[in-house]
Amino acid sequence: MHRILPVLTAALVALPVLSVTPAHAATGAQRLSADSPFADCAPGALDPGTADGAIEPQLAVDPHDPRRLAAAWPQDRQRGVVLAVSDDRGRSWTRTVVPGLTRCSGGTYDYVDGPAVTFTGDGALLVTGGLFMADGSASAALSVRSDDDGRTWTRPAVVVEETDPDQGGHGGGTAVTDPRDPEVLYVVTPRFPAQSRTRNDAWISRSTDGGRSWAAPVLVADAGEGHLISGHRLSVLDDGTLVDVYSRVRFGEGPITSRLTLRAVRSTDGGRTWSAPVKVADQRTKWLFQDPESGAQVSHTTSLLSDTAVDRRTGRIYVAWQDSRFSGGGADAVALAASDDGGRTWSEPVKVNRTPTSVPVPNQQAFTVTLAVGRDGTVAVAHSDFRHNDEGTPLLTDRWLARCRPKPVDCGSGAATWRETRLTPTSYDMRKAPRIPDEASPRGYFLGEQMGLAATGRGFTAVWAKPDAPDRAAVYASVVR
């Protein structure tokens, strides 16, 4: 039986800074990740089914100081979490390893999954992540807190854990702050079944001391027989209402477009009780999409996920996801819907990405969608596509940012104007990305299920992963004003 580090502790773990990365003004994109900080750590049993390098970065901005940014990502086959912090709007970054989570960073668990970073209401950094043992014997969601931009850290606090593998395994989730109280945070974590194609559920944990400890988790949603739920995105509105948006998959035969829906549930009592789910929209994704020439799968699990963001001026909630309804099922685009009544009802989906429809349909595929809303109500959606791909050896791939100002036409309207910015200075070759074998999941070329995007003052900062060598990825950032 493994041992979890104590939940309640005031002890701090000091860790040296790894390096400082200067801004790369020539290309508009700068590399955040560096050489492996885990080179001396022995390989794990599941390494062949994981991605090498730095993948799926997440990004947070201090709501009280847009100059402060933090990005976190799993590195080197998910052996640990690396954090990059900027105090100058992304011009320079300081990297450090987040301690105490995995065996390669002084912790207990073998691997980390889906790490995320949050600025607490009092300006501290909180890193959360799902942890699991290679043999499936235990899993947990843990959090660690730093009050000095990552120089020292509290010991890990247990958000939720499972030591009976017959009960399934817990994933991680992003901590979300309550705007009314700087000490209150919430995390929604899914619990996946021990056997495939069986129902699962999701739980919410609450902290009232800035993430130093967590109360016992409470059930948020149950998938129901013959269903699976995943991709939870939690929002806390200004009045304290919690809204959780997630995907629900129905097992069975037939096209995935008839078996996948986005749902939302609400809580008005701090997560103790939840409403019945309402449908946000059908997710009419192609689900599995492929390299247009070779047929190899590409980041197939991104099709399941959505992202949400709140316009703090109005309370409007936006959700964006991959959807093929705009091309008659030919290729996934980016769909956007909104709620003006706290998640009770949702608008009809509209297309927001500007991928040209003049390119071959397989190259129109938009994927890995990320959403943010600025202080002035500007809505921004980042995604990847193959629009520059040709029949040559590389699978040319780019990352884009589409933005909409809410006037004169509402951004939830099909008549809204979306302005596009290219985030990748030059196309990269997706065929050089880490490739997950078919017997694992997610399989195919893989850079991450989600990337990072945050509103930073008058603009936005995006982080994403791309190959930097065959079968290895690195994390990059770009500021768009």
| CB distance 15 to 152 below 8 Å | yes
Q: List the one residue out of 325, 324, 340 whose CA is nearest residue 411.
A: 340
* Whether the predicted pLDDT of 377 surpasses 90: yes
What backbone phi and psi angles, to 5 degrees, belong to 257?
A: -65, -20
Can you give the pLDDT at residue 12? 36
Residue 147 identity: D
**The pair of three-digit structure tokens given for residue 137, joined into one six-digit string:** 């014997």
Can you give the pLDDT at residue 23? 28
Q: List the one residue out of 375, 351, 366 whose CA is nearest residue 456.
A: 375
Q: Output the CA–CA distances (angstroms, integers) from residue 362 to 189, 395, 431, in the order listed.
A: 34, 12, 15
**The pair of three-digit structure tokens given for residue 15, joined into one six-digit string:** 């860790």
**Tens digits of per-residue pLDDT, 162-182?**
999 999 999 999 999 999 999
Dist. CA 237–CA 312, nearest whole Å: 8
Q: In the chain, count of helices (H) and strands (E)?
A: 0, 35
Question: What proportions of the chain, in percent to the nearest 5, are helix, strand and coil?
Answer: 5, 45, 50
Using DSSP, state whether 282 is helix, strand or coil: strand
**The pair of three-digit structure tokens given for residue 381, joined into one six-digit string:** 């959606």
Total-model pTM: 0.93
* Whether the predicted pLDDT of 2 surpasses 70: no
| CB distance 137 to 163 below 8 Å | yes
What does 81-118 look like in DSSP terms, one character per residue?
EEEEEESSTTSSEEEEEEPSSBGGGTSSBSEEEEEEEE
Q: Which residues pair with 222 in a beta bridge?
A: 201
**Tens digits of per-residue pLDDT, 73-131?**
999 999 999 999 999 999 999 999 999 999 999 999 999 999 999 999 999 999 999 99
Domain spans of the chain, in order of start = 1-18+51-222, 226-481
Identical fold for domains 1-18+51-222 and 226-481, yes or no, is: no
What does 308-331 look like in DSSP terms, one character per residue?
EEEETTTTEEEEEEEE-GGGTTSS
Using DSSP, state whether 166 is helix, strand or coil: helix
Dist. CA 112–CA 157, nearest whole Å: 15
Q: Output the CA–CA distances (angstroms, integers) from residue 411 to 224, 257, 314, 315, in the order listed.
A: 34, 25, 13, 14
| CB distance 465 to 473 below 8 Å | yes
**Tens digits of per-residue pLDDT, 382-407?**
999 999 999 889 999 999 999 999 98
* Whether the predicted pLDDT of 375 surpasses 50: yes
**Tens digits of per-residue pLDDT, 230-258?**
999 999 999 999 999 999 999 887 777 67
**The pair of three-digit structure tokens given for residue 326, joined into one six-digit string:** 């705009």
Dist. CA 337–CA 317, nearest whole Å: 8
| CB distance 366 to 418 below 8 Å | no
**CATH for 1-18+51-222, options being 1.10.10.60, 1.20.120.80, 2.120.10.10, 3.40.50.720:** 2.120.10.10
Using DSSP, state whether 364 is helix, strand or coil: helix
Strands (E), 120-175: 125-132, 139-146, 152-154, 157-162, 169-170
Indicate the burial class of 166 (C-beta count within 10 angstroms; 0-12, 13-18, 19 or more): exposed
Rounded to the nearest integer, the mean pLDDT of the chain is 91
**For the residues 462-478, what does the mean pLDDT come to?**
97
Using DSSP, state whether 72 is helix, strand or coil: strand
Task: Give residues with Cβ within 8 angstroms of 196, minimum separation 6.
Answer: none
Indicate the burial class of 182 (C-beta count within 10 angstroms; 0-12, 13-18, 19 or more): middle
**The pair of three-digit structure tokens given for residue 25, joined into one six-digit string:** 């003004």
Can you give the pLDDT at residue 441? 73
Q: Are strands 316-323 and 181-192 parallel, antiparallel or unpaired?
A: unpaired
**The pair of three-digit structure tokens given for residue 349, joined into one six-digit string:** 């989906």
Dist. CA 389–CA 111, nearest whole Å: 34
Can you give the pLDDT at residue 10? 30
* Whether the predicted pLDDT of 346 surpasses 50: yes
| Banded model confidence at residue 319, pLDDT cuts 50, 70, 90 | very high
What does 386-436 look like in DSSP terms, one character per residue?
-TT--SSSS-EEEEEEEEE-SSSS-TTSTT---EEEE-SSS-EEGGGS-EE
**Tens digits of per-residue pLDDT, 348-358?**
999 999 999 99
**For the residues 11-33, what does the mean pLDDT come to?**
51
Q: List the one residue out of 157, 127, 125, 154 whose CA is nearest residue 140.
A: 157
| CB distance 221 to 201 below 8 Å | yes
Using DSSP, state whether 469 is helix, strand or coil: strand
At the top level of CATH, the class of 226-481 is: mainly beta
Q: Are strands 452-456 and 19-21 parallel, antiparallel or unpaired?
A: unpaired
